[in-house]
Structure 1
Amino acid sequence: MYRRRDTRREQLVAEITNNLRRYAVDAQQVGHAFANLHGLNPTDLQALIAVMDAELLGDPITPGRLGDQLNLSSGSVTALIDRLERAGHIRRDRDTVDRRKVLLHYADRGAALAMEFFQPLGARTDTVMDRFGEDELEVVHRFMAAMSESVRAHRDSVRATRPEPPRRPTS
């Protein structure tokens, strides 16, 4: 049962919290639909998002950073990258400055598949954003950045308290 909200602020906080929860669930379902359509598992999808995010920031991700971000062992990251590369979603490139370093990039085929699937969502997003002025979008941007940071901090604290999986003995 929901209790009655006494102030407008309490009402807004409750409604925004519900909207964020619903958005997260709906966005996850859209991501899963893309993954299912292209034979990807949830970790594959997380990896593709990490590669895309890093590229958008102009700082392509390395396999080591990807493993840290996804909390995977180096062997699991290698298998993941091999699988995504074979499927045409990502490519490995040597760093032009340090040839020992491998950088991961979205492959043309993977980018085309993502564009085809997500372009209608992008158009819908643009339509929604067009209804808000620049000042309003500044507030929303600050809010979303702070909420995202809060969720990441919680994720990291939960990850830190989770016990490590048992390691297989090496012979």
Structure 2
Amino acid sequence: MQIEWKITKKRGNLRPVLSYCVHLEDHEKALALPVVSIVSRIPKPEEDRQDYCYPGLLERAASYSPQNFHVLEAPSHKGHAWTRTLLLPWREDNSYPEVEASFDLLRQAMEEALRGAYNSEPMELAGSVRTSSGAKAKIAPGVLGEKFLRIAARAAAHRESAAS
């Protein structure tokens, strides 16, 4: 598995954008992993459809305290690598240490899912069963009776065709 991420921000009151992509390797896909997701430590801005934040408002207000956090995901074994983009809260110092910490949490969750899938051992089980001797003893008289009747019917048909 490989997780690649990048934060970009334009000059001004624009919020930064976090882009990330998770790639599964073939041997990981072969384990049939589900989608793995975590609630990150990355604050989700209020008004998260708004790509800017003016001074003194929302996360730039003195009383700001994050209430919601982004969810980070990795694709299942059936999915392809995808790129996700998340809007980050505006910060004067452009410092986002929780991003790397959150991707470490996603990596740990992925590794746990990998361990769980890998620990499910392969197996092959085969067998067969036969009719019991008790059942054979009960049905044998009827089966033999049918065989004798078929033989007798063929013999009678053969005699009739020979006589004609």
Where relative contact order (Cα < 8 A, 6+ residues apart) is larger, the structure is: 2
| TM superposition score category, shorter chain reference | under 0.3
Higher share of residues assigned strand: 2
TM superposition score normalised by structure 2: 0.25
State the structure with more CA Rg.
2
TM-score by length of 1: 0.24
